[in-house]
Structure 1
Amino acid sequence: MLAEDLTRSLLDTLERPDLRTIAGPLDIRLESTLPIPFRVADTRIRLGRPTLDHPELAATILRHAIELGRLRHDTPEIDAPLAVFTAARIAALFHDLDANPAPAPTLPWLAPLRQDTPPDPETLARLWPLLAAALPDASISIDTETLSRRLARAWPHLGPTESLMAEGGDARLKVDPQTGLNRYGCSHRPRPWAITFASSTASSLSERGFGGAENARRTMVAALLHDTPPDDARQNIVQAARRGIARCYSLDNPEQVLLAASGTDCELAVLAIAASHADGRPITNILVAPDETGSGVPLAAAGRHFAADAANGHSVGKGQLIDGFPQDTRLIGIPIRQDDGTPRSLAEIDAECIASIAQEIAQGRHVVLHQLDMSKTGLIGPSAACLHTLQARHAHHLDIVVDACQARLEPTRIRDMVARGIMVMITGSKFFTGPPFCGAVLLPPAIVTQLAHATLPAGLRAYAHRGEWPRLHPNHPLDDGANLGLALRWHAALAEMNALAACPPDHIRTTLQRFLDAGRTAIDNHPDLTLLEPPKLDRPPIDGRPVWDDVPTILSFLIRDPHQPHQPLELEDARRLHRWLNADLSPWLAGDCAARLCHLGQPVPVNTPELGPDRLAGALRLCAGARLVSGEPSHAGLNHEARLTRELADAQQTLQKIALIREHWDRLHSIDPVPHYAPVNPERKLS
């Protein structure tokens, strides 16, 4: 490889959005005469000759240098040997995460420091001269026995932010090393070259979100290196997330925030809370549009394991009753669409909810009613007026919970619901574009008080820790500790939530309205697409001011089948198209849009007259998220108008790529391209 190619490779590494975000204030330059990988002094990092000679290790070397540089800059009081081995441990785990296929290690410290067990004193003594060379004073002596003990306490809690965020959920969070993406088709690293309108499902992090999680991780590492007990260091990050969510929703007390790994985990928490104050009555759980919420929600709503693995790492039996949950829970589903796929009226949904609740209460049951706000395709039910009526009529026999996991509601409106005694389920991973698997239940004060005396199901310990819940009865079943991955994901989401909160409401509304108008026009004008008309959202003004949550932000549409144009793509084919959109197709197809990575909301199954009652179409979703308003750091230098114009052009290009895929359907079907974190050719990265 020519020298200029090596330099270009190194520059590509230096420009990586994840490494650039982590580097912060550090000044990083190349010093080709330096014979060691790097040297750190104050805020300066100088990369040496080995970085040029081994481009396959450049990212690992740079990550190592940045981690050590930040530790020395941010926490200069930390002993140098402790900082050096901490930085190297994190870089070793980053190497395994980043390099695929991993090259044969040429850094001798990689293998011993990637192990689950910390190095013994002899290994520390052997590695110290190699690692200490990065410091200005490489002659520092070390007490290996003391260093080994201190590292042992922190060792299990050290790792790169992007790998820690993949913990504390289920298998859907795990990143495929072959693609760099999880099962949602997104990454815990910034992916600014991808076109992203996927906020109804899950989004890759922006640099802002990644930075929010990284700051929280760095705070925890500093606490660990100051000998804070590991459980306390992790717990501090969890409590900071709860406080941040409480501030965003103007809640009086962070005890009103119950963290859960996902919206489906929220469902388990709600059922446990309802059962704790039902006075022995059996529970009836009424779900609106269970087919348009999370796939595991019906199981969780019945108190059953909804996956093969739980958030705390337990292997569980999917579909089995969770220990301690009532086995006589009755599930009632209220459809939100007619048999032909058209939306039902709110009046119909309200009437069915009212009748079902009256019937269940008459049978001596305690009812949990879910208002869905909103479904995967943007529908809502029952109405707010219906909730008011039911709450007044059945106060002691009814719990109302609003499934606002899409989070497409003004925070003030959610605060008012909680003040009226309604539980609200939210996530930071939909509209706010945080990483997947960050859920929470916002609790009315009366429920917080009641939980201090409640009995909870023993099986909840597979899904939650004590610190993620409000204060509980001393005999609660939850284990101590904290779900660090969940907390870091929330810190990423909070960075986006705070950025949106800084925008004036009229600016938010205008931006979302422009997205709605442009997206609707683009889909209507596309010959291969059929828009599923978004519902009118009846959101009254708040304190006399205009609101932004009355603007639909999910545009669902069907795609004409390339072989049978009179009917829409069926669900499985829509899923294929969704994957291919997120893949670089330029090795096989020509055209500017072929290389663009386009991530939309996952297909939703819907009935259509063309396919009849026995076959389901797949509706893709073009969605506005909070970043459409607040902008992404990768857009720095563009004013709002220029940035929004480019975003809307990206939406158009996504629709053009759909047309390209339809045109070459058979060829792509035989190839079945796979999405990747970045384009096949790095030069095609567009931001």
Structure 2
Amino acid sequence: MNRPSDRSDVRDRIDISDEQLLEALTGGGDERTELDPITGHNRYFINPANGLDVFNRGSCTAGMLNGRSRVVAREFLGRYDTLNYASLVEEQSFRLKNLLSSAHNDPFDVFFGPSGTDLAYLPTLFQRLLHPDRPIIQVMSCPEELGSGSRDVAAAKLFGRKNQFGRPLDQGAPIDPTASEPTVVELDARDADGNILDRRGQIVRLIEDNPTAAIIGSLVFGSKSGIKDDLDVIEDHGDHVMWVVDLCQLRVDPALLHDLLDRGAMVMLTGSKFFQTPPFCGALLVPRQLTERLRTADDTNGASVAPFGQIFSAHDVPWALDNVRQHLPDEENRGLRLRWQIALDEMESYASWPFHVSNALIADWKTELLRIVDEHPNFRLMPDQRKTNDSIISTQVLADGRELSHEELRTLYRDVVTGEHEGLSDGARRVFFGQPVRYGDRSFIRFAIGAPTVRWMLHRGSLFLDDDKRLIEIVAEYAERFR
């Protein structure tokens, strides 16, 4: 399950009903946060307010409240109406900077967004502000292992049916019909056999061949299966080239984050993957030198910025960028602030352990679980496990030696996640794991350890894999139904 935590036994005295809590958790996002009125589940087949009886090995944006985060959520909602929204945003930005800053790295600024997918619009906005007369080329690494709306966002199209303010959007339409759409170049993550590809040479050649374009190099470090791009490609190719690294899984040491920011790259992160906050809450870290360039960009009539008011609020943008904020709606988002409050609490709790200690436990977990999965007849590990993050294991699922297809895995995932199961510890009756990822005509699932479980095992003083083993057996039992 999300595992016991140091606040799970705090008695809740805040007068917030379950209905109010759920409304706030699912508000201020897009249709992905909506619950089916019949099942009470979102698109990941879970209810974000109901995770106390779930053994969680998910790697996607589908966190649920555990004992600790439930208390944090109720306390926050109980005092929300007394807070100044602008000050709250500043406070959360400060907490995030305090967690992620180093005495040695240059300052950075925080842009918020309702999801990691929404954050990916910002580099396009920045290039339109800084280079309004240049065509934009968006280099998109590992597209098949990013969020479902990533391709639309890369092309500056509206990926969802509604925005964070609850207003409808024309899904698939250009965010600004008067502007030229970016040219999107996709670089696959894996070959047909599942081997991880090297994309560095392709990116460098594309930059060299397009000296007059405004280029966005969108890299990923920690994709759905934990792929780590070769970040050595990030170099100074001139101010027309902008780098943004997707660290949304946030399964990294702060040292890497500091290095990326110092090299001038923007960093995307969320609190709803490794830290298992209910979806969605995103933040883009922008090096201060880039913020200063944006601050002096001329957009007097709002031609570049105003169309992005369909996606962002003025409160999502740092105070220093008044030239940007003035063209965005002055909208508040209680759900986003609630989810970030939960995420920051978990991040701060996790950071109380030295990273080399938590990383060692994660590595031990992966080593042991890799052995178990590799020896099981219903699983075939994906290639290049050591090239991916230690906290994620990716595997195909077999029935009588045959690979299950993507559609079969989707059915298996739904049936396992929505079912109740015996043999789990501490009263858990349900399980959760990483939903299937398609590559070509094939597919795999993921088992991923999250921050709350790592903290629980550290407090315990040792690994505990009994429930991991039971999860593997449950998936295998369901796989055999496809014989």
Decide: shared fold, TM above 0.5: yes
Is residue 660 of structure 1 aligned with residue 483 of structure 2? no
Q: Tell me, what secondary structure is at the counterpart of 2:46?
A: coil
What are the Cα deviations for residues 373-396 of structure 1, in whole angstroms up to 9, with x where unaligned?
A: 122112122x12221xxx23x122
* C-alpha displacement of 1:665: 4.8
Is residue 553 of structure 1 aligned with residue 391 of structure 2? yes
* C-alpha displacement of 1:503: 0.6
What are the Cα deviations for residues 27-83 of structure 1, in whole angstroms up to 9, with x where unaligned?
A: xxxxxxxxxxxxxxxxxxxxxxxxxxxxxxxxxxxxxxx41xxxxxxxxxxxxxxxx
Q: Distance in 1 between matches of 2:385 and 2:332?
A: 40
Partner residue of 1:403? 246
Is residue 449 of structure 1 aligned with residue 280 of structure 2? no
Q: Distance in 2 between matches of 1:243 and 1:639?
A: 28
Tell whether the 8 Å contact from 1:453 to 1:473 is kept in structure 2 after alignment: no
CA spacing shift, 1:504–1:522, aligned 2, 3 Å: same
Partner residue of 2:317? 469
Question: Which of residues 368, 383, 402 is equivalent to 1:567?
Answer: 402
CA spacing shift, 1:187–1:534, aligned 2, 3 Å: farther
Tell whether the 8 Å contact from 1:188 to 1:210 is kept in structure 2 after alignment: no
Is residue 481 of structure 1 aligned with residue 319 of structure 2? no
Is residue 417 of structure 1 aligned with residue 263 of structure 2? no
Q: Distance in 2 between matches of 1:665 and 1:462?
A: 44
Partner residue of 1:243? 94
* C-alpha displacement of 1:581: 1.4
Partner residue of 2:32? 172
Is residue 195 of structure 1 aligned with residue 60 of structure 2? no
Partner residue of 2:231? 384
Q: Distance in 2 between matches of 1:662 and 1:593?
A: 19
1:81-480 superposed matches below 5 A: 91=17, 94=18, 97=19, 160-223=20-83, 233-250=84-101, 256-323=109-176, 326-344=179-197, 346=198, 349-361=199-211, 364-381=212-229, 383-387=230-234, 391-392=235-236, 394-454=237-297, 455=299, 456-470=304-318, 471-474=320-323, 476-480=326-330
Q: Distance in 1 between matches of 2:139 and 2:481?
A: 44
Tell whether the 8 Å contact from 1:238 to 1:484 is kept in structure 2 after alignment: no
Say which is worse superposed, 170-179 or 246-255, in terms of deviation: 246-255
1:621-632 superposed matches below 5 A: 621-631=446-456
Q: Tell me, what secondary structure is at the counterpart of 2:120?
A: helix
Aligned residue type for 1:197: R
Question: Which of residues 584, 593, 601 is equivalent to 2:419?
Answer: 584
Aligned residue type for 1:214: R
Q: Distance in 2 between matches of 1:474 and 1:295?
A: 32
Partner residue of 2:353? 503
Q: Distance in 1 between matches of 2:177 and 2:419?
A: 48
Q: Distance in 2 between matches of 1:216 and 1:309?
A: 26
* C-alpha displacement of 1:169: 0.8
What are the Cα deviations for residues 414-441 of structure 1, in whole angstroms up to 9, with x where unaligned?
A: 1232132111111111112112211110
Q: Distance in 1 between matches of 2:116 and 2:183?
A: 20
Q: Tell me, what secondary structure is at the counterpart of 1:533?
A: coil
CA spacing shift, 1:408–1:585, aligned 2, 3 Å: closer
Say which is worse superposed, 289-298 or 251-260, in terms of deviation: 251-260
Q: Distance in 2 between matches of 1:296 and 1:162?
A: 24
Tell whether the 8 Å contact from 1:272 to 1:325 is kept in structure 2 after alignment: no
Root-mean-square deviation over aligned CA pairs: 2.6
Tell whether the 8 Å contact from 1:432 to 1:496 is kept in structure 2 after alignment: yes
CA spacing shift, 1:554–1:426, aligned 2, 3 Å: same
* C-alpha displacement of 1:253: 9.8
Say which is worse superposed, 172-181 or 330-339, in terms of deviation: 172-181
* C-alpha displacement of 1:325: 7.3
Aligned residue type for 1:584: G
Q: Tell me, what secondary structure is at the counterpart of 1:659?
A: helix
CA spacing shift, 1:424–1:582, aligned 2, 3 Å: same
CA spacing shift, 1:399–1:423, aligned 2, 3 Å: same
* C-alpha displacement of 1:485: 1.0
Q: Distance in 1 between matches of 2:34 and 2:392?
A: 27
* C-alpha displacement of 1:523: 0.6
Partner residue of 1:651? 468
Say which is worse superposed, 181-190 or 431-440, in terms of deviation: 181-190
* C-alpha displacement of 1:446: 1.5
What are the Cα deviations for residues 175-198 of structure 1, in whole angstroms up to 9, with x where unaligned?
A: 334434322233332513211000
Tell whether the 8 Å contact from 2:112 to 2:316 is kept in structure 1 after alignment: yes
* C-alpha displacement of 1:474: 4.3
* C-alpha displacement of 1:568: 0.8
Q: Distance in 1 between matches of 2:45 and 2:274?
A: 17
Q: Tell me, what secondary structure is at the counterpart of 2:418?
A: coil
Partner residue of 2:434? 601
Q: Distance in 1 between matches of 2:254 and 2:278?
A: 19
Tell whether the 8 Å contact from 2:28 to 2:334 is kept in structure 1 after alignment: yes
CA spacing shift, 1:365–1:263, aligned 2, 3 Å: same
Alignment coverage as a number of residue pairs = 467
Q: Tell me, what secondary structure is at the counterpart of 2:339?
A: helix
Higher helix share: 1
Aligned residue type for 2:59: S
Structure 2: segments with no counterpart, 5+ residues: none
* C-alpha displacement of 1:457: 2.7
Say which is worse superposed, 196-205 or 574-583, in terms of deviation: 196-205
Q: Distance in 2 between matches of 1:210 and 1:350?
A: 43
Q: Distance in 2 between matches of 1:530 and 1:566?
A: 9
Q: Distance in 1 between matches of 2:371 and 2:278?
A: 30
Q: Distance in 2 between matches of 1:188 and 1:592?
A: 23
CA spacing shift, 1:445–1:484, aligned 2, 3 Å: same
Q: Tell me, what secondary structure is at the counterpart of 1:341?
A: coil
Q: Distance in 2 between matches of 1:170 and 1:654?
A: 31
Say which is worse superposed, 174-183 or 248-257, in terms of deviation: 248-257
Question: Which of residues 631, 638, 641 is equivalent to 2:461?
Answer: 641
Aligned residue type for 1:577: L
Tell whether the 8 Å contact from 2:248 to 2:268 is kept in structure 1 after alignment: yes
* C-alpha displacement of 1:255: 7.1
Q: Distance in 2 between matches of 1:631 and 1:179?
A: 31
1:38-57 superposed matches below 5 A: none
- Over 6 Å off, 4+ runs: 19-22, 251-255
What are the Cα deviations for residues 188-223 of structure 1, in whole angstroms up to 9, with x where unaligned?
A: 325132110002442212222233333332332334
Q: Distance in 1 between matches of 2:79 and 2:263?
A: 36
Q: Tell me, what secondary structure is at the counterpart of 1:192?
A: coil
Q: Tell me, what secondary structure is at the counterpart of 1:395?
A: coil
TM-score normalised by the chain length of structure 2: 0.89
Tell whether the 8 Å contact from 1:211 to 1:492 is kept in structure 2 after alignment: no
Q: Tell me, what secondary structure is at the counterpart of 1:414?
A: helix
Tell whether the 8 Å contact from 1:187 to 1:204 is kept in structure 2 after alignment: yes
Identity of aligned residues (%): 27
